[in-house]
Structure 1
Amino acid sequence: MTNQYQINNEQLTKIDELIKELNKEQLVWLNGYISGLINGGTSSENKLETKVPKSSEKITILYGTHTGHSKEIALYLYDRVSSLGFSPSLKALDEYKKNDLKKEQYLFLIVSTHGEGEPPIQAEEFHEYVLGKRAPKLEGTKFSVLALGDKSYKKFCQTGVDFSEAFKKLGGEEIIPIQKADVAYEEIANNWIDSVAGELQKIQPVTIPTVATENATAKKKKFNRSNPFYAEVLEKVRITTEQSEKEIYHVEISLEDSDIEYQAGDSIGVLPNNPIDLVDLIINHFADDPERIVRVGDKDVSLFRALQHKLEITVLNREVLEKYNQLVQNKELTSLLENEDALDKYLYGADAIDLLEDFPGEIKTDEFIGILRVLYARLYSISSGPTQNPEEVHITVASLRYKHKKRDRNGACSTYISDQINVGDHIPIFIEKNEAFRLPKENDKPLIMVGAGTGVAPYRSFLQEIEQNRKQTNSWLIFGNQRFKEDFLYQVEWQKYLQKGVLNKLDVAFSRDQNEKEYVQHKLKQKAPEVFQWLENGAHFYICGDKNYMAKDVQETLKEIITNEGGITAEKADEYLKKLKRERRLLLDVY
């Protein structure tokens, strides 16, 4: 009779099968793992992580981020490298000691590019140091860079490229070629992390504990671009009048049963459907069958579904045009690609059917869909405070409609929400963290909030949070739109906050209510002495709106105010602005 402590034949067979698959190092590890369990281990999960022998190799993970993506990836990499038996160091670039650079053995950098080729604020000083004359030689340093960017910009991933080239010039050995990731970065980031793990296992060939790897994976956010949450629309209300030139909606979305959390300043990503009329135009151009099955990525879908749900057809970029021209060899397109100014002008407002009609050539349907980008999410600044709305998220959406080349055009996501989505419908969403647009940590810091149009959305979130959680804060909202009667978004709420003292000052600029247009930057000029005094008293200055015009004009005006009111040179005013950015007191959320 077998007693309770004896292994039975079935268990013994399983053990034998397992042992046959293990090498010597794995058997040593398994012996330590079992010893740990016998000696009072309460969690096999913990033992799997703690029993991995530690390596003495110096591994440093650095990140430079604007919205938080680079930090998120750096944390995943840190967990993965730790599970291999190393003790990596993890630092933000603005916290990293530059003198340590020459001591690095293995250096892994994750960095985004902000705007048109600029480093994020967090990376500015290190970027200047590495590209400058004082940077040390890096012989003996092995490195790899993961660069995040947006292909809609000409200088795609430029900051990451700058670092990679500088490290090589300084004598570093690039053990994994630079990886450049577009807006949908998850797959490339995961593959890069796998490559890093593979390189490090050459130093320390330790089996990655299965549970430890799962733990690192479990820390990833539950919902993202590739795995959105299908959220119910609770309310959709137009908040401009029928007479307004702008069609703007306030949309309230349920987060119930999602465990999704957000902070004031974050954005929501919405995965849209492309306009059906544009899908039909493309299919008709090829005289193809909308129900024909095509391959998109690793999935087989109908041609119609691919064009409506999977591929980017409402906007183009240089890369798409270059790939297209490789197939059609169109002389006019070749000439366009050689002229940056003409290319920028063409891309503004152009869509996929324009490309086919403007630059004809021999190309098949499957070839064409093969060059298109994956349909990416559209981001909207959240206009609700999480404390006041823990199971809801609100957004403010302006429907994009315009005529271009005698054809009506619609924004992929804005008109998807305004035309196709009703209360009770479900839309695919995820939260996009924005660490670069937060309320001050100190409750008593003054706030100057400048927004035009839907750029006022995050300030509604801010004021709801201030009302719920903060003591008296001096806050000043400067809002602009076209007309007072038609376009004064959330007017009643701002008045309520003024009465309660949650909002202390409100200035408005309505550009079409008088002969001479007045914008938010003009209102700033009118209040220049007060604006400068608020800055001198420690105010945080926020800008939200159009990046090409409004945001640039406001920053130029702010520089002018600092120059004149501070009695300093333009160069000193530039330094003043840079200092505000470094101190996280000049914050931008632009689109």
Structure 2
Amino acid sequence: MGKEFQINQEQLSQLNQLIQNLSAEQLVWVNGYLSGIINGKKNAIDVSVISSQKSSESITILFGTHTGHSKEIAMDLHDRVLALGFDAKIQGLDFYTKNDLKKEKYLFLIVSTHGEGEAPIQAEDLYEYVHGKRAPKLPDTKYAVLALGDKTYKKYCQTGIDFDLAFTKLGAQAILPVQTSDVAYEEVAEQWIEKVTGELKSLVPEVTASTQSASASVPKKKFNRANPYYAEVLEKVRITTTDSEKEIYHVEISLENSGIEYTAGDSIGILPNNPIDLVDLIIDKLEDDPERIVTIDEKEISLFRALQNKLEITVLNREVLEKYKTITQNKDIELLLNNEDELENYLHGADAYDLLEDYPGEITSDQFLSTLRVLYARLYSISSGPRANPEEVHITIASVRYNRKKRDRNGACSSYITDEVNVGDHLPIYIDKNESFRLPDDENKPLIMVGAGTGVAPYRSFLQEREQNKAKGKSWLFFGNQRFKKDFLYQLEWQKFLKKGILQKLDVAFSRDQEEKAYVQHRLKENGKEVFQWLENGAHFYICGDKKYMAKDVQTSLLEIIQNEGGITSEKAEEYLKKLKKEKRLLLDVY
């Protein structure tokens, strides 16, 4: 920022003098007022909304998050509640004092579920507490829970549901039913916040109308899934050889003048277009007119456009099948839904056309559209450091292509970018914060980074950031892919980092270059003694990539290393690993 934009010492003194006596809710109002001025809306906020009246009721807002979404929602709710005139505090569950639970009058919890019913690490202690014998009775507590999850999983919001049941069992009174949300959570979260603030206004009548109007001053996040930024593609380069089985691209995207900021470890969300050939197949199967106007989210749009960029058609989940079964009364789907193994196998790779083809039944086009989910953004780990690449963001993307039932399939976003998007085109994007995958605050701490394929992307961001910050901590990268000559992503960059001393060690595993396959977990075990020494010296251990196989195998190998090199039992090794997670020294970005 240039000097002409900085305030001088006299102005700073005046500002400090002004704000030192302001209350928390007044500061929130000032924040909104200044935002209005910056956006050219000086008259958008009337100073008359400042209320001298403040509610005597205290409100606690708690969040349990894996990526940071729950925290964002909690902060939004906190701002709104303060603006209403309440005394409110906000805390992550890992910092919450369990003994305070019985004192709470109004408690609002926003918590995510990771994978198949797993609570985020920071929520584990309170989760165990409220389900244990020492949990207190809560007859004076009113509460509401917002549960985030991913409907790809059967138990997609289980953590929030479990908290809600536990609070009820302990005698607390729910002022709203537990609200569940899929990955497209923004609209649901906004509606939940509106309901919460509405309930607070009715429950605590001393909050005046003039105070309530202050909530309009709270600024909202500018770009998200519901309101993406259309960013220009600056570069798109294939970084595997043309004869490689893997089709991987490095893509650079402009953020110039967008005001968008990100941190190393974050992801980028991209709203894709579904493959046109799949859209055509579905419309032909439905025997409908692609130009017929349909209504999606209260907006009129052609059937073709609805299937191309509004609804999810490349992947299915249990909820879609259940809705489809209800309409068609197909008995075979009911059998499928009752067999978890067969259901999992079917959902892996099946799309909306498969559903129509494999389980025929009487269903209109509009009914079929009603079974489909909204098209969700695809998330990609950012592969650029923000300081090294100002006003740019880079991603590393592998094109998803496969054949199932003698029909070629393409990923919605990956094939869209690799096949259709060119330099100069614009992509609808937003930044997806990932607070569970961050560089350590102490830049002297060592890093052990494990990634296979495109899972190496965030480590490019990490090392670029460490270079810019002149960090002294050591770094060790374990990278795996199929073939050295074809698939060594960012090879020259890793070599430069080694030469500069930003990266101290690089171990690679190319699975197809020898008869016996070798993976990153094998390289870890080969270096087990030194890996354990790094952990004992405070290293942060990162895993990025496939959740089902690679990440699971790496953690198994890490447990073996801890047990063998530490000379401890398997139970003690589990405790060691759990401690690493609690200390945020074992961090995963898996998919």
The answer to whether TM tops 0.5 is: yes
Residues 146 and 178 of structure 2 are in contact (CA less than 8 Å); yes or no, is this contact kept in structure 1?
Answer: yes
Residue by residue, what CA displacement relative to the aligned partner does 1:506-528 show, whole Å, maximum 9, x if unpaired? Answer: 00000000001000000001000
Structure 1 residues 174 and 499: alpha-carbon distance in aligned structure 2, compared to 1, 3 A threshold: same
From 206, 209, 227, give the equivalent of 2:208. Answer: 206
Cross-structure match for 1:576: 576
Cross-structure match for 1:264: 264
Cross-structure match for 2:303: 303
Cross-structure match for 2:586: 586
Residues 49 and 83 of structure 1 are in contact (CA less than 8 Å); yes or no, is this contact kept in structure 2?
Answer: no
Cross-structure match for 1:373: 373
2:209 counterpart SS class: coil
Cross-structure match for 1:23: none
Residue by residue, what CA displacement relative to the aligned partner does 1:142-179 show, whole Å, maximum 9, x if unpaired? Answer: 11100010001111111000100000011111110000
Q: Once superposed, which parts of structure 1, at least 4 consecutive aligned residues long, lie more than 3 Å away?
A: 42-50, 208-211
Residues 540 and 586 of structure 2 are in contact (CA less than 8 Å); yes or no, is this contact kept in structure 1?
Answer: yes
Question: Whole-Å Cα distance in 1 between the matches of residues 453 and 427 of structure 2?
Answer: 24
1:280 counterpart SS class: helix
Cross-structure match for 1:337: 337
Question: Whole-Å Cα distance in 1 between the matches of residues 470 and 215 of structure 2?
Answer: 40
Residues 84 and 215 of structure 2 are in contact (CA less than 8 Å); yes or no, is this contact kept in structure 1?
Answer: no
Cross-structure match for 2:156: 156
Cross-structure match for 1:239: 239
2:87 counterpart SS class: coil
**Is it true that 1:434 corresponds to 2:434 in the alignment?**
yes
Shift of 1:43: 11
Amino acid at match of 2:485: K
Larger Rg: 1
1:458 counterpart SS class: helix
1:322 counterpart SS class: helix
Cross-structure match for 1:384: 384
Amino acid at match of 1:155: K
Q: TM-score, normalised by structure 2?
A: 0.91
**Is it true that 1:542 corresponds to 2:550 in the alignment?**
no
Question: Whole-Å Cα distance in 1 between the matches of residues 197 and 418 of structure 2?
Answer: 45
The alignment of Structure 1 onto Structure 2 pairs a total of residues equal to 549
Question: Whole-Å Cα distance in 1 between the matches of residues 193 and 208 of structure 2?
Answer: 16
Cross-structure match for 1:121: 121
Shift of 1:82: 1.4
Residues 478 and 520 of structure 2 are in contact (CA less than 8 Å); yes or no, is this contact kept in structure 1?
Answer: yes
Shift of 1:471: 2.7
Amino acid at match of 1:584: K
Residues 271 and 429 of structure 2 are in contact (CA less than 8 Å); yes or no, is this contact kept in structure 1?
Answer: yes
Amino acid at match of 2:163: F
Cross-structure match for 2:494: 494
Cross-structure match for 2:143: 143
Residue by residue, what CA displacement relative to the aligned partner does 1:354-388 show, whole Å, maximum 9, x if unpaired? Answer: 00011100000000001100000000000000001
Residue by residue, what CA displacement relative to the aligned partner does 1:100-126 show, whole Å, maximum 9, x if unpaired? Answer: 001111111000111211111111111
Residues 48 and 209 of structure 1 are in contact (CA less than 8 Å); yes or no, is this contact kept in structure 2?
Answer: no
Q: TM-score, normalised by structure 1?
A: 0.91
**Is it true that 1:403 corresponds to 2:403 in the alignment?**
yes
2:295 counterpart SS class: strand
Residues 84 and 214 of structure 2 are in contact (CA less than 8 Å); yes or no, is this contact kept in structure 1?
Answer: no
2:493 counterpart SS class: helix
Identity of aligned residues (%): 71
Amino acid at match of 2:274: N
Residues 62 and 110 of structure 2 are in contact (CA less than 8 Å); yes or no, is this contact kept in structure 1?
Answer: yes
Residues 525 and 557 of structure 1 are in contact (CA less than 8 Å); yes or no, is this contact kept in structure 2?
Answer: yes
Question: Whole-Å Cα distance in 1 between the matches of residues 320 and 51 of structure 2?
Answer: 49
Shift of 1:50: 4.3
Cross-structure match for 2:414: 414
Amino acid at match of 1:212: A
**Is it true that 1:349 corresponds to 2:349 in the alignment?**
yes
1:184 counterpart SS class: coil
Cross-structure match for 2:480: 480
Shift of 1:462: 0.4
2:544 counterpart SS class: strand
Amino acid at match of 2:208: V
| 1:9-24 correspondence runs (5 A) | none
Amino acid at match of 1:357: E
Residues 238 and 247 of structure 2 are in contact (CA less than 8 Å); yes or no, is this contact kept in structure 1?
Answer: yes
Question: Whole-Å Cα distance in 2 between the matches of residues 111 and 567 of structure 1?
Answer: 37
Question: Whole-Å Cα distance in 2 between the matches of residues 191 and 426 of structure 1?
Answer: 30
Structure 1 residues 52 and 407: alpha-carbon distance in aligned structure 2, compared to 1, 3 A threshold: farther
Cross-structure match for 1:5: none
Cross-structure match for 2:105: 105
Residue by residue, what CA displacement relative to the aligned partner does 1:397-442 show, whole Å, maximum 9, x if unpaired? Answer: 0000000011000000000000000011111000000000000000
Shift of 1:47: 4.8
